[in-house]
Amino acid sequence: MSAAPLIDVLSSESFAREHIPGAVNLCVYETAFPDKVRAAFPDPSAPLQVYGLCPTALEVRTALTRLREAGYQNVTELKGGLEGWKAAGGVPEGAGFPEEPASGTYRIDAAASFVRWTGTNVLNFHHGQLSLSAGSVTIERGELKGGSFRIDMNSLSCADLTDSAMNAMLIKHLRSDDFFAVADFPVAEFTITAATPVAALPGLPNCRITGLLSLRGATRVLEIPASITHRDEGGYTARAFFGLDRTLWGSYYGSGRFFSRIGMHLVDDLVQIHLHVVTEKASTHESSQ
């Protein structure tokens, strides 16, 4: 009797790096996973065997549940997963994993990077975007060591107001001295002064970045919890979500901290920020041994 077909339920990126010879990759993280299994193995009574990375991860349990719900009752798990198979002497196929990222300077890809903002008040909220104009970061042995980037304050936009007149009125208001004084200070700049790695699972911030933010003529310390990821094609992506207290940079309009009996004119001090920075390699150097 021939062995049951073997299904690798990890991502296609993982499968390209390493997989058990003869396995078929059908990623359980895709919503179309049962449909793709059905297309590859239309007989629900046929035996199938699935594997993930290791026994403690949830991908195999999820795959077994979804397949049994789809009518596949003759599905078993490869005990120990890929890691257990390798520990028992198995040699995987695949391109392998890249070497440690090279140290050097990485230029910020302004076209792929952005700052998204959300401002809130008593009755409503608005959200929009700002563009990065230039910058670079320094990486040593895969860790962030320094850098800076600039934000084009004239790129300030609002995404939620569809009425053009209302949209223009809000942007004018935000660019005025009430908020960010863009005519006098058209560029904001963030300079990294320290970056501390944080032990974290994927999907949680793995670096605490401290720096100086210069905005509307004031420079203050800003700490950012960031998730930094090395991209297979080179470069890094950093993403961060945090609250920026605009009053620390002199934006007082509507703040209950500075105005009395403001009532329904209250505007929250914290602006919620989603920072997304993409870098590409600018130059390399060999790290000192």
Give yes or no for residue 279 having a pLDDT over 90: yes
Give yes or no for residue 287 having a pLDDT over 70: no
- Report the chain's mean pLDDT, rounded to a whole number: 93
Tokens of 172: 């004018």
Q: Is residue 124 exposed (0-12), middle (13-18) or buried (19+ Cβ within 10 Å)?
A: exposed
Query: 289 pLDDT band (50/70/90 cuts)?
Result: very low
The per-residue pLDDT for 283 is 53
| pTM tops 0.75, yes or no | yes
The per-residue pLDDT for 32 is 97
Q: Which domains are present in the chain?
A: 6-87 (3.40.250.10), 104-284 (2.40.128.110)
21 neighbors 65 (Cβ within 8 angstroms): no
Query: 1 pLDDT band (50/70/90 cuts)?
Result: very low
Give yes or no for residue 220 having a pLDDT over 70: yes
How far apart CA 269 and CA 255 sit, in angstroms, is 6
Q: What Å distances lie between residue 195 and 223, 226, 277, CA to CA?
A: 10, 10, 15
Q: Which of 11-20, 196-205, 278-287 has the lowest mean pLDDT?
A: 278-287
